[in-house]
Chain A
Amino acid sequence: MTELKPDIEKRSEFDIEINGTVGKPFVDNPKMSSRNCDVFYGDKQAIFDVNLDIANNEIIAMIGPSGCGKSTYLRVLNRMNDTIPICKVTGEHTLDGEDIYGKKQDPVLLRARVGMVFQKPNPFPKSIYDNVAYGARLHGLASNRSELDDVVESSLIKAGLFKEVKDDLNKPGTGLSGGQQQRLCIARAIAVDPEVILMDEPTSALDPIATALIEELMDELKENYTIAIVTHSMQQAARVSQRTAYFHLGKLVEVNETDKVFTNPEHQLTENYITGRFG
Chain B
Amino acid sequence: MELGQHISQRYNEELEDIRSKVLKMGGMVELQAENAVKSLLSHDRGLAKEVATTDSKINAMEMEIDEDCIRVIARRQPTARDLRLVIAVSKVITDLERIGDEAEKIALYSKKLAKKKTTIGMHADLTHLSELVLNILHDSLDAFARMDADQAVKILGSDKQVNVEFDNLSRLSITFMMEDPRQIKGTLRVNWCARSLERIAEHAQNICEYVIFLVKGKDVRHTSLEHIRSKYFPHDLDEETEENQAG
Contacts and interface: CB of A to CB of B under 8 A. Distances in A.
On whether the two chains bind one another, the answer is yes
B68 interface: no
A275 B2 contact: no
Given A1-B26, A278-B7, A271 B81 contact: yes
Among B20, B80, B138, B218, the most chain A Cβ lie within 10 Å of the Cβ of B80
A6 B2 contact: yes
Interface in A1-55: 1-9, 11
A263 interface: yes
Interface string A232-250: 0011001000000000000
Contact of B79 (A3, A6, A11, A262): A262
Given A7-B148, A8-B2, A274 B23 contact: no
A274 B80 contact: yes
Contact of A262 (B23, B30, B80): B80
Contacts of A276: 6-8, 11
A271 B80 contact: yes
Interface string B1-37: 1110111100100000000100100110010000000
Contacts of A271: 80-81
Nearest to B83: A263
A3 B7 contact: no
A278 B2 CA distance: 12
Nearest to A238: B79
Contact of B145 (A6, A11, A277, A278): A6
Q: Which of A11, A234, A277 has the most CB of B within 10 A?
A: A277
Interface string B81-94: 11110000000000
Given A6-B2, A6-B147, A263-B84, A1 B78 contact: no
Interface in A169-209: none
Given A1-B145, A275-B79, A276-B6, A264 B11 contact: no
Interface string A108-147: 0000000000000000000000000000000000000000
A265 interface: yes
A259 to B, nearest CB: 11
A9 B27 CA distance: 25
A234 B83 CA distance: 14
A266 to B, nearest CB: 10
Contacts of B79: 234, 238, 262-263, 274-275
A275 B6 contact: yes
B57 interface: no
A127 to B, nearest CB: 41
Nearest to A9: B2
B198 to A, nearest CB: 22
Given A3-B146, A275-B82, 11 more contacts: A1-B30, A1-B141, A6-B1, A6-B2, A6-B147, A7-B147, A8-B2, A9-B2, A264-B84, A276-B11, A277-B7
14 contacts: A3-B146, A6-B3, A6-B147, A7-B147, A7-B148, A238-B79, A262-B83, A263-B83, A263-B84, A264-B84, A271-B80, A272-B5, A275-B78, A278-B7
Contacts of B20: 4
A208 to B, nearest CB: 14
Nearest to A11: B2
A238 B78 CA distance: 12
Contacts of B157: none
Closest 10 CB pairs of A and B: A264-B217, A1-B27, A277-B5, A274-B79, A6-B147, A262-B79, A8-B2, A271-B80, A275-B82, A1-B141
B12 to A, nearest CB: 9
A4 B27 CA distance: 11
Q: Of residues A5, A6, A272, which shows the largest number of chain B Cβ atoms within 10 Å of its Cβ? A: A6
A187 to B, nearest CB: 31
B77 interface: yes
B99 to A, nearest CB: 13
A68 B94 CA distance: 42
B144 to A, nearest CB: 9
Given A264-B84, A265-B80, A275-B81, A6 B26 contact: no
Nearest to B30: A1
Residue of A1, A265, A272 with most partner-chain B CB within 10 A: A1
B146 A7 contact: yes
Contact of A3 (B2, B6, B81, B145): B145
B9 to A, nearest CB: 11
A264 B8 contact: no
B5 A235 contact: no
B159 interface: no
B187 to A, nearest CB: 34
